[in-house]
């Protein structure tokens, strides 16, 4: 398994992982019609913009299997919501089910934490749906609950929790 910084050529593969993961991870939380309407092409255009716009400080790592297929990704950057005690943020992490429980997610989080630390950040948070079955993953890495909020996604009210790490060196 190889973890590396993403580039523009990865946009289509990242989009496929992103959509496929939404469809599996959120199947019990969001309407089936909404999940079925997700488009690889639309998500690819979002990723092309994300991978070319460097003004936000965003960066993305991908995980490649032995055949160089992208099986996961993690995106990070500066904290976006004004949580002054946490300056870095794990914006997103998705891993195909076939690649889960093999330490890849942990390696992706470590890569994001390392890049944030290199940029001068000492802490990081992630927002996760309270009902997300992967929430325990963040808690197993030492993420501690720090905030919560009510959001609406696809006309469904959901609770989102922020889990934080005060010391990024514990994740690198």
For the chain, give the mean pLDDT: 94
Query: Which domains are delineated in the chain?
Result: 2-122 (3.40.630.30)
Residue 84 pLDDT more than 90? Answer: no
Say whether pLDDT at 35 is over 90: yes
Q: What pLDDT score was predicted for residue 134?
A: 86
At 81 the pLDDT is: 87
Among 135, 131, 138, which residue's Cα sits nearest to residue 164?
138
pLDDT tens per residue across span 115-136: 999 999 999 999 999 999 889 9
What's this model's pTM, rounded to 2 decimal places? 0.94
The residues that bridge with 135 in the sheet, in sequence order, are: none
pLDDT (0 to 100) of residue 82:
83
Q: In what order do the strands lie in the sheet with 2-5?
A: 2-5, 59-64, 70-78, 88-95, 124-129, 156-165, 144-153
């Amino acid at each position: 398994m190889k973890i590396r910084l993403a580039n523009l050529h990865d946009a289509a593969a990242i989009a496929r992982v992103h959509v496929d993961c939404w469809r599996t991870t959120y199947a019990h939380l969001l309407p089936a019609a909404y999940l079925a309407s997700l488009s690889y092409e639309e998500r690819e255009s979002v990723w092309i913009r994300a991978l070319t716009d460097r003004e936000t400080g965003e960066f993305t790592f991908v995980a490649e299997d032995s055949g160089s297929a992208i099986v996961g990704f993690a995106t990070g950057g500066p904290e976006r919501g004004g949580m002054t005690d946490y300056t870095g943020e794990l914006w997103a992490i998705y891993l195909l089910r076939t690649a889960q429980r093999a330490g890849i997610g942990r390696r992706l989080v470590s890569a994001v934490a390392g890049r944030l630390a290199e940029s001068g950040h000492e802490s990081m948070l992630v927002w996760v749906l309270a009902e997300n079955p992967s929430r325990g993953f963040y808690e197993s890495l030492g993420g501690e609950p720090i905030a919560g909020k009510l959001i609406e996604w696809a006309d469904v009210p959901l609770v989102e929790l922020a889990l934080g790490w005060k010391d990024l060196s514990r994740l690198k």
